[in-house]
């Protein structure tokens, strides 16, 4: 517990060091850890922009938005990255993507090599890694770290911590990539992490019953909307308009 408090107390310093790194003597620019750039099509970013703009945030407060799905493999992390990119580009404010899917590591997606992540930091083992997501200068990533067996315990710690609040001080935009709800036992805790949540469903893949269950677990009032991902309709557009 002591180490956890110590870690959390040093969070502000970590963020400060990440956002405003100091150049070391003899170096032209400060060293900064970058994630691998994930190039998303502009159309994808635009649709993600449409999603976050549809969520109403209280005026003057920072934007904290959770992204989750019913099952694995529905494009939740990609959508979260797309939204983070769109928000960062639109607001020009520091935006952080907080990876909270502790059971499924996204390190490979971001080009990371089994480095420490949020889980390790919450456990008090490692410092918190805050990476910049190129090409935007104001877009950051806090990786979840490697897959963990004790994800439920760590996620409980996260739900009890003030990490989100602390992040909000320096990041006006916090996008939280939550674990898929139906696949985990601690899904009810996900609703405690963020006030507003977008639920990602994959076209032709997510069963309606799974989405219904996810809605039940989160609570209808928490869900700001559904993002229908991977839409690949074969119906001609003119016919779709008629139907």
Partner 1 sequence: MAKYVELLFRHRLRFLTLIFVLPASLALACVFLFPHQTATTSLWVDTPAYIDISPSIQGWNQYLTPAQNTVDAVDQLRNTDLFLKELTAKLDATKDFTDVSERNSVLATAATDIVLVSNGSHLVGMTYTCPREPICTDVLSATEQIYIQWLDDRQSAQANVAIDFYTGQLTDAQTKLATDQTALADYLAAHPNLRPSDTAAIPQFELLSRNVDNDLLKVADLQQKLDNVKLTNAAVGKTDETTLKIIDAPRNVGGRLNSLPRKQMIIAAAAGLAFATGVLMFMAWSDRTVRDARELEGFLRIPVVTTIPDLALMRSDRG
Least distance between partner 1 and beta carbon 83 (Å): 10
Q: Which of 51, 87, 122, 142 binds partner 1 (CB under 8 A)?
A: 51
Question: Does 232 engage in binding with partner 1 (CB under 8 A)?
Answer: yes
Question: In the stretch 63-82, what mask flags binding to partner 1 with x, by CB under 8 A?
Answer: ------------x--xx--x
Which of 133, 123, 104 is CA-nearest to residue 2?
A: 123
* Site stretch for partner 1 (CB under 8 A), options 57-65, 133-141, 188-196, 202-210: 202-210
Question: Does 157 engage in binding with partner 1 (CB under 8 A)?
Answer: no
Residues listed for the chain: 243
**Does a cis peptide bond (omega within 30 degrees of 0) precede residue 135?**
yes
Which of 215, 193, 180 is CA-nearest to residue 64?
A: 193
Question: Which residues make Cβ contacts (< 8 Å) with residue 9, sequence separation at least 6?
Answer: none
Question: Which residues make Cβ contacts (< 8 Å) with residue 116, sequence separation at least 6?
Answer: 125, 126, 127, 129, 145
Cα separation of 187 and 185, whole Å? 6
Q: How many residues bind partner 1 (CB under 8 A)?
A: 46
Which of 167, 171, 217 is CA-nearest to residue 197?
A: 217
* Site stretch for partner 1 (CB under 8 A), options 36-44, 107-115, 140-148, 170-178: 36-44
* Site stretch for partner 1 (CB under 8 A), options 8-16, 146-154, 158-166, 234-242: 234-242
Residues that bind partner 1 (CB under 8 A): 40-41, 43-44, 47-48, 50-51, 54-55, 75, 78-79, 82, 198-199, 201-209, 211-212, 215, 220, 223-236, 239-240, 243
């Amino acid at each position: 517990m002591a180490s956890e408090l110590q870690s959390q107390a040093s969070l502000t310093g970590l963020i400060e060091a990440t956002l405003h790194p100091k150049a070391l003597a003899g170096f032209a620019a400060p060293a900064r850890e970058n994630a691998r750039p994930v190039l998303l099509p502009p159309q994808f970013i635009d649709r993600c922009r449409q999603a976050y703009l549809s969520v109403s945030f209280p005026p003057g407060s920072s934007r904290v938005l959770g992204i989750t799905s019913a099952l694995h493999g529905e494009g939740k992390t990609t959508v979260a990255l797309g939204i983070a990119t769109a928000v960062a580009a639109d607001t020009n404010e520091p935006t952080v993507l907080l990876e909270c899917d502790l059971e499924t590591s996204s390190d490979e997606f971001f080009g990371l090599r089994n480095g420490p992540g949020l889980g390790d930091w919450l456990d008090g083992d490692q410092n918190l890694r805050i990476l910049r997501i190129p090409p935007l200068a104001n877009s950051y990533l806090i990786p979840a770290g490697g897959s963990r067996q004790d994800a439920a315990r760590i996620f409980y710690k996260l739900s009890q911590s003030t990490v989100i609040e602390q992040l909000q001080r320096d990041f006006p935009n916090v996008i939280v990539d939550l674990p898929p709800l139906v696949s985990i036992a601690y899904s009810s805790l996900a609703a405690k992490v963020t006030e507003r949540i977008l639920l990602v469903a994959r076209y032709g893949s997510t069963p309606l019953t799974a989405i219904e269950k996810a809605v039940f677990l989160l609570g209808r009032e928490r869900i700001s909307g559904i993002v229908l991902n991977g839409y690949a309709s074969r119906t001609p557009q003119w016919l779709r308009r008629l139907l």
